Structure 1
């Protein structure tokens, strides 16, 4: 389960409102058995979750497509996790700023260290950015891999069957107009979340 959360760049957070269910995507970080989520302090999700509304956090990794000889046996190879519970807001502003920095460092390792590091979150920025922590206690995992489960009656169908792998990789960094060529770009290899943890 931690591997799925660590490899996923985003999670989707679902919760109920008076107007019906809502699902919101966000960047995240896992530390041990705690999940960290962030967003605007005025956002509906942050307000609802901080007030104790139960949430469901999901992450899905698509590893490829599974093609069968029969259309009904096509599928996807995937790994997914759903984490259920209640989140708690980090109230201390300094602690929140530190958590925001750790989230950035989780998404882009090395971003806040070294001679060309980005500026860390300020106290003022932490005032209007909420950070929630959620214990990872109740969760459900679903996975699918392998090949299609074709039926013997389809063995003679003259169609290609097998597995087409998918991979999510970082491309070549593109600098903005101020940066130009003055500073080295992040190495795309550090963004490979399959190797970070």
Structure 2
């Protein structure tokens, strides 16, 4: 894919790509995305869970929320996902930064109108966030058509996008070579904590042994 006027980087263009596989890898690892759009009261940015299916993003939210009611009308949206891989420390404060991978998508979202299709889409969002949650022994109940009536799902084609990656060390200047401050980068990883049962579950049921290597729970970096 080539760049557009909206996706062309003005700063650090060497960090930007338009590779579809790179964009999909970030979207598939991210637990959530942020959706930006314009309203009568000004710009709004809202986080939500998502899943990717081929060249489409599925975005979910309340059927009566401002996000759904506004974007379902076809207004332009900007969806972003960012993964923070670490903190970059330089010898000068102005050169501190973060190691990250991000993707930005521009487009117009379309609501999933059919309630049965919407219920199935909601199930796929849950299964994408926690693979295995709706299958096998001890599976959670799948969404019903009735529940789909008050939960909305939008589809967004992944057509106009850019990927930006920051890695490596700080861009320290020679004038700071003598500063006796540690410089380098500190990796950050996402790992699951110990499951905490609700009051009804208590100690009656064993916490699910989901695969700890699931990419949404741990970054092997």
TM-score by length of 2: 0.85
Give the 3-state SS of the residue equivalent to 1:38 in structure 2: strand
Could you tell me which runs of 5 or more consecutive residues in structure 1 were left unpaired when the two chains were aligned. Answer: none
How many residues are aligned here?
196
Aligned to 1:183: 205
Give the 3-state SS of the residue equivalent to 2:169 in structure 1: coil
Contact 2:62 2:150 in 1 (8 A): yes
Aligned to 1:44: 66
* Aligned-residue RMSD, C-alpha: 1.5
Aligned to 1:193: 216
Could you tell me which runs of 5 or more consecutive residues in structure 2 were left unpaired when the two chains were aligned. Answer: 1-22
**Shift of residue 182 of structure 1?**
2.4
Deviating runs (4+, > 4 A) in structure 1?
A: none
Contact 2:30 2:82 in 1 (8 A): yes
- Give the Cα–Cα distance (whole angstroms) in 2 for the partners of residues 4 and 102 of structure 1: 18
Give the 3-state SS of the residue equivalent to 2:49 in structure 1: strand
Q: Deviations over 1:4-27 (max 9, x none)?
A: 111111100000011100000000
- Give the Cα–Cα distance (whole angstroms) in 2 for the partners of residues 22 and 94 of structure 1: 30
Aligned to 1:160: 182
Q: Deviations over 1:57-103 (max 9, x none)?
A: 01111110110111111111011111100010000000000000000
**Shift of residue 181 of structure 1?**
2.4
The equivalences for 1:37-186 within 5 A come to 37-186=59-208
